[in-house]
Structure 1
């Protein structure tokens, strides 16, 4: 399975790495990505990290099985990020919005992402 995590500070991507799969982590902050790379290297984890805004990642279409957004979705431009995420997900892919402080987990199928209003 292929996963991408937005705005990671390294934390959720590195924490979830132990469950397997191939992980990609993105953040708009180059400093956060540098720290995530350092933590991954320190723990011998093969994770692809790069700096990008969630609204314009330039990643391949129909590529990811799961996309997560942890503690960050409220900051995104929904009119741009939802089509971006929908395009990156494989058929029947899942988008997981995490609000850890409130323990709220919302799953959305790729087929309905563009029609969601937040």
Structure 2
């Protein structure tokens, strides 16, 4: 998840204009859905926090962590459409699983805060 669009007003503008944003590669090129996830150049503690929270929520909802990550993207008020570039059946199944997960507002904000390192009001 690249939070730049959320921070710079792009997603807000999409909402205001009635546009549907596309979330390109929301699983980081497979890093979220991979067992050996490689962190992007972000602080290790932040990456660990996101991975830990994804795992906790995945256990709670009985789905894969990648399904939780996609549910997070789908839960944004702008209603982004995730663009996945996979041909692996397992990842397609995880994407479909995401549609069964309805994160609470608190869970969504917890993931946002873990991913951005920012506290929200």
Shared fold (TM-score, shorter chain, > 0.5): no
Tell which has more relative contact order, 1 or 2 (C-alpha 8 A, sep 6+): 2
Higher strand share: 1
TM-score where L is the length of structure 2: 0.31
